[in-house]
Structure 1
């Protein structure tokens, strides 16, 4: 038996804004975009990296009633906006080139590429505030 990660979730403030960011700026592709009227027009929206078909990121709208009461929904939106609810870790074979390309597409980085003990790393946030790390891992000796 094998268990794999198929989908990870990010809370987003606005699915259309998130979709535009992840597809047009980061360069991911749409994996699923399904609206279910029988569930109050719930929208299952997923994106993923081109060429890595076995994993996707669900861009999940923060729900209201009956899933979350209004106060909880506002708290979740606030925590997401501050960058403390979620994080996505992306890898690349060339951090500096990826930084230059994504910056050219309008991604606003909070950290420029910098060497760290594990690799070359930089970070940005999506329009909802989620933290995204982009890392070129160094080959580390086996310990």
Structure 2
């Protein structure tokens, strides 16, 4: 029986740059940063298992996966272009104050695709990471 989601993947263009973005700008913690070696199950040279997560949610990890890992070069280039274009929404990051979070992250240089706005489910802003992936930043409406 499935019990919970533990990991989600954000495909990134540069793992070091993504690590800096997620830790320095979003305030996430490093959960794993392990080199799996050159011969790891066909994943490609220098496979790196890199995960981060929100400090108050230690059981959740976002895998910062290099777009080329485990892909042939042609597919990796196609994937790279889609990520850079902003074709992927990764998920929802909850906040207790969307406007304050928007102001704080904007001051740190985080790019937002939309400012805080009223939605049927609460207040939402949409941010973009340094690779092009986007997240909804949502303050849930009290029911």
TM-score under structure 1 length normalisation: 0.90
Partners of 2:112 and 2:9 in 1: CA distance: 21
**Structure 2 CA distance for partners of 1:114 and 1:86, relative to 1, 3 Å:** closer
Aligned to 1:47: 52
Aligned to 1:107: 110
What displacement does 1:63 show?
A: 2.1
**Which 4+ runs in 1 deviate beyond 6 A?**
none
Aligned to 1:61: 66
Aligned to 2:83: 80
Aligned to 2:101: 98
What displacement does 1:2 show?
A: 5.2
Q: Which runs of 5+ in 1 are unaligned?
A: none
Partners of 1:72 and 1:86 in 2: CA distance: 20
Aligned to 2:137: 134
1:32 paired with 2:37, answer no
The number of equivalent residue pairs is 138
Contact 1:92 1:98 in 2 (8 A): yes
Contact 1:7 1:57 in 2 (8 A): yes
**Structure 2 CA distance for partners of 1:87 and 1:2, relative to 1, 3 Å:** closer
TM-score under structure 2 length normalisation: 0.90
